[in-house]
Amino acid sequence: MPKLLFLLALQIPFLSVAQHLSGKLTDSKKQTIEGAYIFNVTSNQHAHSDHNGRFIIDDVSRGDTLMFTHIGFESIFHIVENLNDEITIRMQEKAIDLDEILVSPDLDAINILTEINIKTNPVNSSQEILRKVPGLVIGQHAGGGKAEQIFLRGFDIDHGTDINITVDGMPVNMVSHAHGQGYADLHFLIPETIDNLNFGKGPYYADQGNFTTAGYVSFHTFDKLEQSKVKFEAGRFNSKRLLGMFDLLSGEDHAVYAAAEYIATDGPFESSQNFDRLNVMGKYSGTLKNNDRITFTTSWFTSKWDASGQIPQRSVDNGSLTRFGAIDDTEGGQTSRANVLFDHIHNIDHNSLIKNSVYFTKYDFELYSNFTFFLNDPFRGDQIK
């Protein structure tokens, strides 16, 4: 019997090290931090924070040193003192440093580099952000109002037929559309409101839903603004852009902001494009007393434009038209989209949750095209609506 007690006593130190530590990561405004890298310097174990900023790391003992890192935040070292209590780590923002990048089997380095690219090289169109996805090419061929044509890894995706695009989990693709199945008009998204994007290439992501033939792109907008701002930009061809982002409420558990964008340009063509677009967005995010999280987002945009359309190469070759001329400059159209999105996340425990999303979308689309000019009707032309 004494020998048995002695052997059991020997096992106690070994059992004590096989424990885990749970915690939560927040920023200076107490917003949760997703995708942070947690590394145990002592045992070489690592973990990542989930969308609620929570993490669980195994094989932790008292006295171990944990390192917390995330792009855009100061690294933090924490010495474990108590394994029974959940810890809360608050990280401070800082300028992005390429030295911060950590590559491990659980991290997608390409997604990390794309996130850095977005934060350091902002663009003026949400569709342009799609170009941040390696191997993805877009083109606009209808005056700026239509959804861009997309190419990815040898796929001619048209306007979204073979790629799944979402914003905060809300589908952008339209399962039935006059201009093509899966039509994905992303122009309602204001680029400065984008916090991050995630993407994958290939038909390997059944969890992303329909249209994920060539890949998927998932955008997530900010839950809270760091500060309000107003921006005005101007350029060639009478191009103007006005942006306003307003932090209306920035509490510990609740946040509200609004954003608006207006764009207008004549374009480089001989006939003015008369393009203008107006975007408006509002978002509320909050944490309830039971630690459930809700978000409510509304957005609306409207756009109208003229287009010079396609022209024959022979007309340019014989000098009857310039490259920027038009045979029928009355092509174009107008479009609008309204969105309402409600998300509710119920946390069951540290490892499981239930997420419910409800959304409503109303889309209007009117397009004028002329592919054969005056072939069938020499007097009125062949324009279609």
DSSP string, 47-109: EE--TTSEEEEEEE-TT-EEEEE-TTB--EEEE---SSSPEEEEPPB----GGG----TTS-H
Domain boundaries, the chain: 20-100, 109-368
Look up the CATH superfamily of 109-368.
Answer: TonB-dependent receptor, plug domain (2.170.130.10)
Which pLDDT tens digit goes with each residue over 67-110? 998 877 888 999 888 888 888 899 988 776 555 444 444 555 56
What sign for the dihedral angle of Cα 204, 208, 214, 215? negative
Let me know: does 223 contact 250? Beta carbons within 8 Å: no
Q: 37: closest CA among 48, 45, 27, 26? A: 48
State residue 14's pLDDT score. Answer: 44
d(CA 53, CA 32): 5
d(CA 378, CA 383): 11
39 is written with which tokens?
A: 């590394």
The residue ranges of the chain whose pLDDT is under 50 are 7-10, 12-16, 100-105
* Cβ partners under 8 Å of residue 370, min gap 6: 309, 327, 328, 330, 331, 381, 382, 383, 384
State residue 307's pLDDT score. Answer: 86
Q: 20-100 in CATH: which number?
A: 2.60.40.1120
- pTM of structure: 0.79
Phi, psi (rounded to 5 degrees) for 316: -75, -40
